[in-house]
Amino acid sequence: MTTELASRAQADYDALVAQGMKLDLTRGKPSAAQLDLSAAMLGLPGDRYKAADGTDTRNYQGLQGLTELREIFAPALQVPVEQLIAFGNSSLELMHDTLVHALLSPLPGAERRWVDEERVVFLAPVPGYDRHFAVCDRLGIELVAVPMTPEGPDMDVVERLVAADPSIKGIWCVPKYANPDGTVYSDEVTRRLASMPTAAPDFRIMWDNAYAVHHLTDEAIEIADVLALAAEAGHADRPFVFGSTSKITLAGSGVAFLGASAANVKWWLALTAKRTIGPDKVNHLRHVLFFGDAAGVAAHMAKHRELIAPKFAALEEILTENFAGTPGVSWSTPKGGYFVTLTVPDGTATEIVRLAKEAGIALTPAGATHPGGDDPQDATIRLAPTFPPLDEVEKAMAGVAVCVKLALARA
């Protein structure tokens, strides 16, 4: 970069800092306007508290959750109703508990508990979801990074690793509109995950289908049915499927789901019964009355799309205007989900995040998309445009562009 361009980049940055902005693109949260879409839920279920089968939702029991709620979400999650559990408000909680159960009680098909193994390792496709990594860190599960491709994890790498090492017990997957790059797993990748030979007989796929209905375009992308493919391959117990309404209704008061084989469901419910009598079935009924059916969910998500699609469009427009054709700078263009991945030249991501912070723009820490918070290339930045109003997204992204240009000028 010429001295003139470097001086201009510094001047633009100084002007940015002088604005004294306070903007935040760190977390993929619904905006207040999105939460308002579900405001009517706060008046439900009213004086109607009986489930379809006559169950009094105010009382104990019902560990698997209301059948009628599971019927609404089973198609989107690609899980048979009888193999789907509706539980509390957090799918992360279900993932955490599933790993704890596996550590303390043998999984179906396992000879012993994971805690009795010398090592427990999970594969982590990168870039990936930092909370997946944090759960493993908390529980002493080692993480091995594997690269992502435009169709999902690099299966040549995955297959080689799992076939050779019995300590590798699982893999994290966000198969649709992946966090953070928006990748959609191809049918071939899903088939290979479901059918590949593994040295560990109790290998599990943690299939976090968090964005199953979170489309940003008119195209409602579908993915392969991992449970069905695993069963066909003779590995019915391999996948655990997770989902939630956290970014559909009220983020702090949603419903989380877990789907798996009949054996896995029986195992999970038996262990979970030791820590709780049952989930909040009043909240389950509230969701049933609010949506009515799967078509109600689709109509509701169309309203979400109207609110957030313009924010993704603004982000795309600003990045294209500033960096189209810039060597080393690229970004994902997701068709759904909540995030965009900005890739910058190696060694510059941390500096860009630092510059943004000094200018009053909060970004997710560089490296958060990798195990241990360490991106060896220091080249990945996760952008989350859903929470701020559109005008703040535009201001923040214009500021990010200034920071990227200055970091490139200094590199």
Query: Can you tell me the distance from the alpha carbon of 190 to that of 193, in angstroms, rounded to the nearest whole number?
Result: 5
Is the entire prediction scored with pTM above 0.95? yes
Q: Is the dihedral of CA 228, 229, 232, 236 positive or negative?
A: negative
Query: Can you tell me the distance from the alpha carbon of 342 to that of 355, in angstroms, rounded to the nearest whole number?
Result: 15
Query: Can you tell me the distance from the alpha carbon of 119 to that of 354, in angstroms, rounded to the nearest whole number?
Result: 36
Cβ atoms of 65 and 281 within 8 Å: the answer is yes
Residue matched to tokens 């000028």: 409
Which pair of tokens denotes residue 77? 């999650």
Give the count of beta carbons closer than 10 Å to the beta carbon of residue 61: 10
Q: How far is CA 264 from CA 89, 160, 275, in A?
A: 21, 26, 17
The full DSSP string for 130-166 is HHHHHHHHHHT-EEEEEEEETTEE-HHHHHHHHHH-T
Kindly give the confidence (pLDDT) of every residue in the chain, 411 residues in length, as a single tens digit, with 9 standing for 90 and above: 567 888 999 999 999 999 999 999 998 999 999 999 999 999 999 999 999 999 999 999 999 999 999 999 999 999 999 999 999 999 999 999 999 999 999 999 998 999 999 999 999 999 999 999 999 999 999 999 999 999 999 999 999 999 999 999 999 999 999 999 999 999 999 999 999 999 999 999 999 999 999 999 999 999 999 999 999 999 999 999 999 999 999 999 999 999 999 999 999 999 999 999 999 999 999 999 999 999 999 999 999 999 999 999 999 999 999 999 999 999 999 999 999 999 999 999 999 999 999 999 999 999 999 999 999 999 999 999 999 999 999 999 999 999 999 999 998
Structural domains present in the chain:
3-28+298-410 (3.90.1150.10), 45-292 (3.40.640.10)
Angle between helix axes 281-291 and 67-77 (nearest 10 degrees) is 60
Cβ atoms of 139 and 103 within 8 Å: the answer is yes
Query: Can you tell me the distance from the alpha carbon of 378 to that of 235, in angstroms, rounded to the nearest whole number?
Result: 37
